[in-house]
Chain A
Amino acid sequence: DTGVSQDPRHKITKRGQNVTFRCDPISEHNRLYWYRQTLGQGPEFLTYFQNEAQLEKSRLLSDRFSAERPKGSFSTLEIQRTEQGDSAMYLCASSFSPGLGPILVSPLHFGNGTRLTVT
């Protein structure tokens, strides 16, 4: 189990620039989640995928944010025209859902996040 991997660990960008983060989930996990965490607060849900389908997006995810998971494996989160308020830790998590029949609760495995600083 290599765990959830996120890249880069840190990103500093100037306001108005675009940034893209990558998440590699645990290989057998079909669900992938993105969360955002600001200093002193708990993580906030942004969006999640079941395989390649994006099933839910939070209203926190403005039009400047887009997430993809093209082949149901890794995922990218892009922020366009960054603003200072986008500065946060962006966390990725994965889990397994059997999808059919009784659905079990599968714990989320989080990566260590990408810390974004917008100057």
Chain B
Amino acid sequence: DAKTTQPNSMESNEEEPVHLPCNHSTISGTDYIHWYRQLPSQGPEYVIHGLTSNVNNRMASLAIAEDRKSSTLILHRATLRDAAVYYCILGQGGTSYGKLTFGQGTILTVHP
């Protein structure tokens, strides 16, 4: 399985943008890039996914490098509720999707 590399932790101030990086140099052409987050005492929550183009949804934006070897999850205005562990995961679509390989993720701390 292709692997991802994320910083162990990051900090942000409330209402400021947050850029969470992810390196995936061994990504294959069919791998989607998924982001999930896990709030304390809860199960993971889907944030966003993409294949080649940048993606936006109500929660976040996903910026994918042109060579697809890295990506960045962007939270436009961090709130205290965004404090969580953020996981960047590579996975294929189709029948293999759902068998996700989570790493240790990035612990995001948001300061008031």
Interface positions of A (Cβ within 8 A of B): 4, 31, 33, 40-45, 48, 55-56, 91, 93, 95, 97, 103-113
Contacts and interface: CB of A to CB of B under 8 A. Distances in A.
Interface in B22-53: 32, 34, 36, 41-46, 49
B98 A40 contact: no
A42 B87 contact: yes
Contacts of B95: 55, 97, 103
A112 B41 contact: yes
B100 A45 contact: yes
A95 B46 CA distance: 11
Contacts, number: 61
12 contacts: A43-B44, A56-B99, A91-B43, A103-B94, A103-B95, A103-B97, A105-B32, A106-B97, A107-B34, A108-B44, A110-B44, A112-B41
Interface residues of B, number: 25
Interface of B: 32, 34, 36, 41-46, 49, 85, 87, 91, 93-95, 97-105
A46 to B, nearest CB: 10
A111 B38 CA distance: 11
